[in-house]
Amino acid sequence: MANPASYRPKTGEIPTNPGVYRFRDPHGRVIYVGKAKSLRSRLNSYFANPAGLLPKTYAMVHAASSVEWTVVGSELESLQLEYTWIKEFKPRFNVVFRDDKTYPYLAVTMSEKYPRVQVMRGDKRKGTRYFGPYTAGAIRETMDTLLRVFPVRSCSAGVFKRAQASGRPCLLGYIDKCSAPCVGRISPEDHQALADDFCAFMGGEAKRFITKLEKQMGDAVAKLDYEHAARLRDDITALRKVFERNAVVLAEDTDADVFALHEDELEAAVQVFHVRGGRIRGQRGWVVEKVEDFTTPDLVEHLLQQVYGEDGDTHGRLPREVLVPVEPSNTEDLAKWLGGIRGAKVDIRVPQRGDKAALMSTVRENAEHALRLHKTRRAGDITVRSQALQELQEALDLPVPLLRIECFDVSHVQGTNVVASMVVVEDGLPKKSDYRKFSITGAAAADDTAAMHDVLTRRFRHYLQDKSAQVDESVLEPGGPDTAPGDAALDTTTPAPKAKFAYPPNLVVVDGGQPQVNAAARALQDLGIDDVYVVGLAKRLEEVWLPDSDFPVVLPRTSQGLYLLQRIRDEAHRFAITFHRQKRGKAMTVSALDAVPGLGASKRKALLAHFGSVKGVKAATVEELAEAKGIGPALAGAIVNHFAADGAEPATVPAINMATGEIIES
C-alpha cells in the first residue's frame, strides 16, 4: 500500500482552473477519475489529512501511486470529460455512472404531433433532438428555466390524455409553464413552432431570444412593472448560463487528434487530445528538447512523424483530421504519408474558429501547465540544482562556487520609462526578498549599455557603502584595541539595521551580448571591484558572453547550467517588464496639477470637480480658486504662481491674516 505523501504534488504545481484528475496505480491503470471546479483545492483535500478520509477514499489514495490532471475551460467541460473517461477507463473506485446508465440529456420528441420536452438516458431515438449531457440537478433547473420562455409540453402521454378528456390542463398549464395544447390553448402548428424555437435556442441561436427578453425587460421597466422586469432579468441570466459554450464535446462525427505546444528557447511541451466520435478518448503529453535550428513548423513535422511513425494506430485508429497549432514544413507530403497509413484521406490543418479552435485553446493551456510543472520540478530538485551550479562553474572556469547569482535586465519602449531589475538566486533558488527595481533617467537612459553601466554602478556603490559602514562599526567593539578605559559600552541589545547590499554575488548575469557585458564589467572596474565575475546571456542563440571576449561560450543544449541561466534571465525579464508597465501606466495618467506643491490627490479632484478641467484651473484667479472645496488663499496663490511660471506674469498674491485666514486688502 503506497504512502500518499510519496506522490503528492506540490501545491504551487497544481493549477486553480477547472479540470479533471486521474489517480493511477503502480501499473499505470486509472483507478479513479474525478472533476473539480478548482483542481488545487480538490487535490489538496486528498492529501491534507488522509486519516480523516472516508474508507473508500482512503483505500483509493493508498492504492494509487500517481495523480495527473487535465485543465478545461469550464465546469460543464469537466463534467463531460469526466463522464467520457469513466466510460473509457472504467476505474474501479468510480461507482457513479459505471453501469449502463449515462448522463441525462435534454430531449425534444420532434416526431410527435405535440412535441414533448423531457429528460432521457440510454440509447438515442430517431426523430428526437438531444442536448447535453447535464448533471441530474442541472438538467431539472435548465428545464424549469426554459419552460418559462418556451412553454412546450413536458407531461407524459397519460397525463396529456387525461387532460384532453377532462378539458382542464395540468398544474403546469395553470402556472404558465406549459402552453396547454391538450385543451386547445395553442394550435398544433404553433406548438410545433414553439418546440422549434426551443431547439433553436439550445442549438446555438441564443442571441435573438435573449435580445427579445431584454427588450421585454426594457418595456416592463418603462411601464414601472419592476416585478415582471426582475423575473425577466433572472430568466436572461439563467438562459446565458444554459448556453455556456462547450469545447470538450464536438459533433458526433468528429474524429481528430488535436496537437498544441508551448515552447521556450530550449524546450517545448506537447499535448495531444484524441477525439473519437466527438468525445475526448485520451490525452498524451511530452516535454522535448529543441534542436538549435528547429522552427515551430519543423517541430510540428518532427512530432507528427514520431507519433504516427512509431504508434501507427494512434488511440484506436488514425483519425480523419489532425489539428495542429501551425502548419508543418511540408503539409502535403505529410498528409499523403498519413493517408497511406490510414488507408484514406487525412487532413492536416490549423483550426481558426469554432469549437475546434476552442478545444485547441484548451489543449494549449494544458501544454503551458505541463512546461511550467516540468520546470518547477526540475528547479526544486536539489540534485539537479547542484549539478547546474557545478556545470556552470566549470564551463565558465570560475575559481569560486556560485553561492549567489544576481541577474540584471533593462526594459523600456523606444527609450521611454527606462527601468531595470535585479533578481537574486542563492543555492539555485530565487531569493525574492533581495529583488530590486531601478528607475533610470537622464544620460543613463540613452541606450542599453549606458543603462546597464548605471544600474551596476548604483548597486555596487551601495555594497561598498554598506561594507565601509560595517568596518567603521567593527572598530568600536567592546574590549577592542581602540576602546579606552571608561568609554561607554556599545549597545548590544538593540539589533543593528540590516544592510541591504552588504552581501555581494559571486556571479553577475546580464541580459544581452558583448556590449552589455562590457558595460557591466566596466562599472565594476570603475568601482575597484575585482572579485565579482560577469557574464551575459544572449537570447537569440542562448550564447554566454564573457567580458572582452571575441567568441562566446556555447553550453550544450542539455546542460543544466544553461537551464539555470535561462530561468534566471527569464525571471529578471519578467520582473523588469512588470515594473516598466507599472511606471508606464502611471506616466499615462500624469496631470499638470501633480507638480503643484502642497496639492494632494483629494484637492486635485476638488479643483477638477469645481472648474471642470485643468484649463479652467489655469485660467482661475486666486479668489476663484479659494472658492473650491479645501483650497485656502495660500494654496490658491501657490497654484496661480505655479502656472504663471510657465510664461505668464506671476500673480499678485494678497497678504493673509494667519490668525483669521482673511485676505488683507492692500
Q: What per-residue confidence (pLDDT) applies to 21?
A: 94
Q: Is the pLDDT of residue 69 over 90?
A: yes
Mean pLDDT of 341-370: 88
The cell numbers describing 251, all together, are 459533433
Collapsing DSSP states into helix, strand and coil, what is residue 356? Answer: helix
- Ramachandran angles phi, psi of 30, nearest 5°: -75, 120
For residue 429, what are the contacts with CB-CB under 8 A and spacing of at least 6? 379, 385
DSSP character string of 170-224: -HHHHTTSS--GGGTSS-HHHHHHHHHHHHHHHHT-HHHHHHHHHHHHHHHHHTT
Q: Are strands 66-71 and 19-24 parallel, antiparallel or unpaired?
A: antiparallel
Higher pLDDT pick, 180 / 50 = 180
Collapsing DSSP states into helix, strand and coil, what is residue 481? Answer: coil
User: Rounded CA gap, 442 and 448, in Å?
Assistant: 13
Which homologous superfamily does the CATH classification assign to the domain defined by 399-475+500-584?
UvrC, RNAse H endonuclease domain (3.30.420.340)
For residue 470, what are the contacts with CB-CB under 8 A and spacing of at least 6? 499, 502
Q: 4-89, what's its fold?
A: GIY-YIG endonuclease (3.40.1440)
Beta-strand ranges (E) seen in 197-335 are 256-263, 267-276, 279-289, 321-323
Q: What per-residue confidence (pLDDT) applies to 30?
A: 92
For residue 592, what are the contacts with CB-CB under 8 A and spacing of at least 6? 614, 618, 643
Q: What per-residue confidence (pLDDT) applies to 653?
A: 43
Q: Is the pLDDT of residue 593 over 80?
A: no
Give 387-411 pLDDT, tens digit per residue.
Answer: 788 888 888 888 888 888 899 988 8
Helix 382-396 and helix 560-587: axis angle, to 10°? Answer: 90
Q: What is the mean pLDDT of the chain?
A: 79
Q: Are strands 267-276 and 256-263 parallel, antiparallel or unpaired?
A: antiparallel
Same fold, 399-475+500-584 and 592-664: no
Give 559-578 pLDDT, tens digit per residue.
Answer: 788 888 888 888 888 888 88
Q: Is the pLDDT of residue 588 over 70?
A: no
For cell 502656472, name the residue.
Answer: 643
User: Rounded CA gap, 571 and 409, in Å?
Assistant: 9
Q: Where are the domains of the chain?
A: 4-89, 105-204, 256-377, 399-475+500-584, 592-664
Q: What class is the 256-377 domain?
A: alpha beta
Give 4-63 pLDDT, tens digit per residue.
Answer: 888 899 888 899 989 999 999 988 899 999 988 899 999 999 988 777 788 888 889 988
Which of 153, 204, 220 lies closest to 182, judged by CA?
153
Q: 592-664, what's its fold?
A: DNA polymerase; domain 1 (1.10.150)
User: Rounded CA gap, 505 and 294, in Å?
Assistant: 35
Mean pLDDT of 639-655: 60
Based on the number of CB atoms within 10 Å of its own CB, is 562 exposed (0-12), middle (13-18) or buried (19 or more)?
buried
User: Rounded CA gap, 107 and 105, in Å?
Assistant: 6
For cell 466510460, name the residue.
Answer: 87
